Amino acid sequence: MPINYSFVIPHKNSPLLLRRCLNSIPQRDDLEIIIVDDNSADIEVVKKVVESHPCASLYANEGSFAGGARNTGLRYVRGERLLFIDADDFFHDGFLEVTDKYLHTDIDLVFFDTDSVDSETLAEVPTRCFALSDGVRSKDLEFLRWRVRPCWGKLFRTQYLLDNKIHFEEIKASNDVMFTCMSSNYAQTFDINPFVLVCSTINKNSLVHHANKESLDARYGAAMRFRKFAYSHGKGKYTSNLLSFMFYYRGISNRLFFKMMKQYCKDNSFKMMVGDVKQTLISVYAIIMGKKHSGRSLVKVTD
């Protein structure tokens, strides 16, 4: 039987969460699950979890970080359609019945909605990717193509990714920024589906909750590369506020803050910096008004 779906899952040291993720994927003869382990401490436990799903296979990361793991997975995919998911996330019931309608069509890229829960308690929390939800609900294709960064919550036609040699950056954080940028740029046909495909959990141990220099440098670099590409295509309005990174650097040290401010001024044109200042002022105003009316911040400046 031909393989209709390939799932690529990067994994490192979270076998219980990986089991939960695998349990959300039905056992069907037309799918394969490619789990790429990034040097977990207890690989024997990981092997047992992988063996619990008959469609799953385990591979060692041939690159660096989660981006390298995803690139390794891309080398082995055989499915017509491709889905990415992190090991601590899971799919919602009935998702394959929804995605099946895209099999054997010429649609390159489908955007779905997502939601979020606390990874430990499963209590509902605000979605990790509000941009994706906003774009799906408004059916704003341009916004989805240029503003939504994660690779999950999307269904890809595998062949167009391989034909265009689209891959992930092998950096500590934000490895999927340029992948999603390029996959959206090369796609020719799209669909927007309101089905909530993936539950992207909030994990307090995730990289997104820990601002250190290495992860900040990776995020800033990815955001800068995306910004240059977006401005070159007249889509600068969809770029992140790079000035916000300077506040995180300031939290590490004053010396690093001034060093990165110098780099920021070197990297960005005057037009880009003016746009960042405007975004920052809007965010600060929203925070002040939020505290005034509710005693807490309404807006968090994030990448």
Q: What ranges do the domains of the chain cover?
A: 5-205, 210-294
pTM for the complete prediction? 0.89
- Which residues neighbour 37 within 8 Å (Cβ) at sequence distance 6 or greater? 11, 12, 43, 46, 58, 59, 60, 61, 69
Instruction: Provide φ and ψ at 57, rounded to 5°.
Output: -130, 150
Which sign, positive or negative, has the C-alpha torsion 272, 273, 276, 282? negative
Residues with Cβ within 8 Å of 266's Cβ and at least 6 positions away in sequence, in order, are none
Distance, CA of 48 to CA of 55 (rounded, Å): 13
- What's the CATH code, domain 5-205? 3.90.550.10
pLDDT confidence of residue 206: 56
Task: Find residue 58's DSSP bridge partners.
Answer: 35
From first to last of its 303 residues, the chain has per-residue pLDDT tens of 899 999 999 999 999 999 999 999 999 999 999 999 999 999 999 999 999 999 999 999 999 999 999 999 999 999 999 999 999 999 999 999 999 999 999 999 999 999 999 999 999 999 888 999 999 999 999 999 999 999 999 999 999 999 999 999 999 999 999 999 999 999 999 999 999 999 999 976 554 545 689 999 999 999 999 999 999 999 999 999 999 999 899 999 999 999 999 999 999 999 999 989 988 888 777 778 765 544 433 333 333
Q: Cβ contacts of residue 264 below 8 Å, gap of 6+?
A: 242, 243, 245, 246, 273
Q: In this predicted structure, what is the pLDDT of residue 293?
A: 47
Helix (H) or strand (E) run with residue 18 in it: helix 15-23
How many whole angstroms separate alpha carbon 279 and alpha carbon 285?
Answer: 10
Contact between 67 and 169 (Cβ < 8 Å): yes
